[in-house]
Structure formats: structure tokens, C-alpha cells
Amino acid sequence: MKIIMLGAPGAGKGTQAKKIAAKYDIPHISTGDIFRANIKNGTELGNKAKTYMDQGLLVPDELVVDLVVDRVQQDDCKNGYVLDGFPRTIPQAEALDKALAALGDKVDYAIDVNVPDENIVNRMGGRRACVGCGATYHLVYAPTKTEGICDVCGKELILRDDDKPETVQKRLNVYHEQTQPLIDYYTKAGILKTVDGTVDINDVFAAIVEILGA
Ligand code: AP5
Ligand code: ZN
């Protein structure tokens, strides 16, 4: 099962992608996580990506397309994968389709987690990420057992650099301009499925399972 997660920044793509990966036993591939890991390790890719990410801009297509096309051809992707944060532009979607077609393959589902802009800004201010393992929480909607401490690895939680309110607004604008056209793209391809992302995390997941099959 090859799945793409679509949705505005903070819509809950990462939250749902992790649950999908666990239930269907397929890898969760997040381009945002890959970039953040590279930034943390001080790699050349990380340094390049950081200048764009901190401004709320997309990283150029050429820095992301090959990385994903290589990743989905690794052994653990044989039974499928869930892509989170890619594609984000029409050229990225076209490049993915072309690469998969060359392998006799295709995307099965594009799931749009639909959340209006008003809800997004409120959510992002409450998001906290673990400095150790990258796990994501929310002060109100997905709290940790001990305040400020990761449930998974015990390390400290921080506000992501790009979750400051002014950067969130910029990311939303970029989403509407560059990523929202993918809704049309996958509607035309006949694989778009929309779920309401404003309801409780477990209810969003139940709607996704209904689409993918138990
Ligand atoms: P990326 O990490 O992909 O950021 P994003 O798309 O902006 O998405 P987020 O991670 O912010 O949100 P999410 O939808 O995963 O929400 P989450 O589940 O965390 O990318 C970061 C940057 O990297 C980009 O800006 C760009 O610069 C670069 N980049 C990455 N991929 C790229 C690409 N392909 N091309 C070019 N550049 C690229 O949830 C958000 C919060 O809400 C959490 O706190 C969560 O606990 C909470 N929450 C989730 N669901 C619910 C719910 N149903 N109810 C209440 N709270 C909820
Ligand atoms: Zn952790």
C-alpha cells in the first residue's frame, strides 16, 4: 500500500502517518523529519535545507526529489510506505509518478487531512517536539505523561523553530500557493480521499482506516 499524506502544515499528517505506519507495518517517510535529522547532524543537506525551512519556505525540488525516489526503492518499502510531506509541489508529484511508473508502480491513495487555517495557527503554538527522538506532542491535544519530558525517550521537549506564529502564517501561504494544487492533481488521478482533520486524533485515524481497510 503506497500512501501520500496531504494537508496544511500542522493538519496532523505526521500524527496520522505514524499511526498508519504502525498499523499496516510500512515505513513512515517524512521529508521534514529527514531534513531535521540532517540539520541536527550538521550535514551539507541540512545546512542547505535550514535556510529555507527557517523562513517557512519550501526546500528546492532538486534537494528533495532524488532523496525520496531513492528512499522508496529501498528493501523495507517493498510492501508499501506512507509519504508525509512529499510531494509538496506539482513538479515533485510528477517526478514521483514518473519514477514509480518506470518501476511499474504507482501511488494507491492520497489522503488529504483537511483543517481550516484558523485551527492551524492555534495548534502549532501548542506543538512540542522531542530533541532526542523527534516524537511530536501537543500541550492540550496530545500531552506527555510528565510535562516537558518525552514519553518515548525521556528527553526534553521544544517548540520547533518554524512553529513561531509569523513563520506559521508564511508556511500556510506557501501551502496554499504551491501544495494545494496537488488536491486537483490527485483528484484527477482518481486517488484523492479527504478526511476531516478537525476532530479528535483517534477519530481522524478511524476515518483513514475506513478508507484503507482494516
Ligand atoms: P514538515 O515537517 O513536513 O512540516 P509541515 O508540512 O509544515 O507539517 P508539520 O510537521 O508542521 O505538521 P503535520 O501536518 O505533520 O502535523 P502534526 O501531526 O505534527 O516540513 C517542514 C519544512 O521542511 C517545510 O516547511 C519545508 O521547508 C521543508 N520540506 C519538507 N518536505 C519538503 C518537500 N517535499 N519539499 C520542499 N520542502 C520540504 O500535528 C501538529 C500538531 O497538532 C501536533 O502538536 C499534534 O499533536 C496536534 N494534532 C494532530 N492532530 C490533531 C487533531 N486531530 N486534533 C488536535 N490536535 C492534533
Ligand atoms: Zn523522545
134 lines ligand 1 (CB under 6 A): no
pLDDT of residue 166: 87
Q: What's the pTM value of the predicted model, to 2 decimals?
A: 0.95
pLDDT of residue 146: 96
The residue whose C-alpha atom lies closest to atom 52 belonging to ligand 1 is 201
Query: Which ligand sits nearest to residue 168's alpha carbon?
Result: 1
pLDDT of residue 127: 94
pLDDT of residue 165: 86
> Residue 134 in contact with residue 127, Cβ under 8 Å?
no
Cell reading at 98? 514518473
Distance, CA of 104 to CA of 98 (rounded, Å):
10
Low-confidence ranges of the chain (pLDDT < 50): none
pLDDT of residue 72: 96
ipTM over cut 0.85: yes
Nearest to 92 by CA among 167, 16, 185, 29: 185
The structural domains of the chain, with segments of one domain joined by +, span 1-115+164-210
Ligand 2 centroid vs 120 CA: distance in angstroms?
24
pLDDT of residue 121: 87
Distance, CA of 126 to CA of 52 (rounded, Å):
23
Cell reading at 101? 511508473
pLDDT of residue 177: 98
Please confirm whether the linkage preceding 143 is cis (ω < 30° from 0).
Answer: no
Please confirm whether the linkage preceding 87 is cis (ω < 30° from 0).
Answer: yes
Residue 92 CA: which ligand 1 atom is closest? Answer: 34
H/E stretch holding 55 reads: none
Residues identified as active-site: 13, 88, 127, 160, 171
Please give the class, per CATH, of domain 1-115+164-210.
alpha beta
- Is 123 labelled a binding residue? no
pLDDT of residue 164: 87
Cell reading at 201? 486524533
